[in-house]
Amino acid sequence: MKSQLLKSVLLLILLTSLLHAQNDESDESKVRNKSTKNELVPVEIISDPPGAEIIIDDSSQGTTDSTLFLPPGEYKIQLILAGYTPVTTKIKVTAGKKLNRFRYTLSKNPGQLKLMIGPKTAAVRLNNEIINHKEIQALAPGIYQIEVEAEHYYPVKRSFEIELGKTNTIKICLVRKMGRLQFSVNPPDANCVLSLNSQVVERWRGKKSFDQLPEEVYNLTVKAKGRKTYNGTVRIDANRTTIETIKLEFGDEVPDWMVSVKGGTFTMGCTSDGETNCNDNEKPAHSVTLGDFYISKYEVTLGLFSEFIQETGYITNAEKAGGSYIRKDDKWVIVQGVNWRCGADAKARPQDERMCPVVNVSWFDAVAFCNWLSEKEGLQKAYSGTGSSIVCDFTSNGYRLPTEAEWEFAARGGKSSENYIFSGSNTMEEVGWYNLNSGNENHETGTKKPNELGLFDMSGNVWEWCWDRYAGYSTAAQGNPRGPLTGDLRVARSGSEQSDENQCRVSYRIGFSPNSGYVSGGFRLAKTR
């Protein structure tokens, strides 16, 4: 009985030991499994391009390329980089690996912005950063703010959206700030010109009101016969009325591009004082007395003549005839396609020649130009009539061609003359362009030494038309001669870039047909005092 009881106790002890052993093993397994789950595993996240923000389970974890330490498991990941499509995905971090590496290539240019902005000079800011509005902008999807502003315009600010894979075209035209002008002038028939950046904005006569003028600071020129010219500025402000009253002073004035020549008596023609190789048409030398006059410092330029053509639509004689005269083999021959616009090669004269003398213009072309400029500046026209019946009013205050006597007197230096062979020197190289230094091309006006009066290029560069009909000289002394009343040719002086030294002497003269353009033929202006 006791033996049986002992066996039962021993069996119970054994079973209890086995049960505790199993429980211990289970607890150890749980601890081991828990330790594995909480182990941190290295994770490297790489993007191309780098620098994208890493968001894991809605928590920012730095930027690519970075190495993180995460427990094993699945995670939701986002990569965000401005200008690229965001990446949203899931990753699985596995234990037992030396490194869990994940690579992503970001997609660029998810959306585009195309801008059409006026004025073109406007400054454009996108989210407060200045951009080039002439270029298409590549942007990530989202809401943006654009600001456009320009001087004298009302600014614009607005928001817009960029969508994935789409181009948003935005057109913004700024509205000009406008003001008003009330203008009055004495005398009431004065000619007025409002200009901006050398471009005429408005032209009128006398009193005038403007209800809508763009906000700017304008140049104002006011002219009237017998009055001094007014040159000033007028400021127009937005939503305001500017009141401007101008009273012109009495008197006449000379433009800064002209020289006042005091009249006097001189010997006209080829003299024995230093000149040789006199031509028969330069003799006899004779006494001439002139009154005061103005003459331009420079020959009329291509740029100024171009303005005349643009404003009037005038067609020159060479254009009507289909060509201009060119000197070949000591003869004048017409070459097709040559005119004031095109040189001797019949190719258009380049923009950089605008300060060179205009050439291939006829005497009649020069007369038409003079009347245009007089009218433009509110002066009396010097010329009236047509064709061979054209007459000159030498009492007018308008522009005209110099008489032959005025031209030679001025070329010799007027009352300050040093009796040079050429205009301003006995050495042609100093004062003018001719066949030995010109390269057979006319040159920008005013680049050589001036003569005693401050006049440029009166020897060489281009032939210059005079008022007079061409004829021989007489021995009789003359006062303010204006040439014969009849004749088929008109006088040209100066010589040109193609001339030899002999033709550039101050006494050299030639006659050309007034109806034709000549490849080296130009002109300068005069004005009666």
Q: What is the CATH number of the domain that holds 150?
A: 2.60.40.1120
- According to the model, what pLDDT value does residue 33 have? 41
* Residue in 206, 501, 145 with CA at minimum distance from that of residue 378: 206
Q: Are 210 and 320 members of one domain?
A: no
pLDDT tens string 47-103 = 999 999 999 998 999 999 988 999 999 999 999 987 787 899 999 999 888 889 999
- According to the model, what pLDDT value does residue 97 have? 85
Identify whether the C-beta of residue 137 lies closer than 8 Å to the C-beta of residue 126: yes
- According to the model, what pLDDT value does residue 107 have? 79
Number of domains the chain contains:
4
The mean pLDDT value for 458-478 works out to 97
Helix (H) or strand (E) holding 339: none
* Residue in 37, 44, 47, 113 with CA at minimum distance from that of residue 80: 47
pLDDT tens string 331-388 = 888 899 999 999 888 888 887 788 999 999 999 999 999 999 999 887 889 999 999 9
Q: Indicate the pairing of strand 399-400 with strand 510-512.
A: unpaired
Residue 80's domain spans which residues?
A: 41-105
Angstrom distance (rounded) from CA 464 to CA 32: 112
Reported confidence tier of residue 18, pLDDT bands at 50, 70, 90? low
Reported confidence tier of residue 25, pLDDT bands at 50, 70, 90? very low
Identify whether the C-beta of residue 220 lies closer than 8 Å to the C-beta of residue 188: no
The mean pLDDT value for 292-297 works out to 96
Reported confidence tier of residue 24, pLDDT bands at 50, 70, 90? very low
The mean pLDDT value for 281-297 works out to 96
Q: Are 454 and 517 members of one domain?
A: yes
- The answer to whether residue 32 sits within a structural domain is no
The mean pLDDT value for 270-288 works out to 83
Domain termination site, one of 202, 228, 247: 247
Domain termination site, one of 225, 247, 269: 247
* Residue in 481, 421, 156 with CA at minimum distance from that of residue 276: 421
Q: Please, where are the H alpha helices in 412-510?
A: 428-431
Domain termination site, one of 247, 267, 294: 247
Q: Are 186 and 169 members of one domain?
A: no
**How far apart, in Å, are the Cα atoms of 511 and each of 352, 387, 467, 489?**
31, 17, 11, 5
Identify whether the C-beta of residue 463 lies closer than 8 Å to the C-beta of residue 510: yes
- According to the model, what pLDDT value does residue 30 have? 41
Q: Are 320 and 210 members of one domain?
A: no
Q: What is the CATH number of the domain that holds 217?
A: 2.60.40.10
- The answer to whether residue 505 sits within a structural domain is yes
Helix (H) or strand (E) holding 438: none
- According to the model, what pLDDT value does residue 26 have? 46
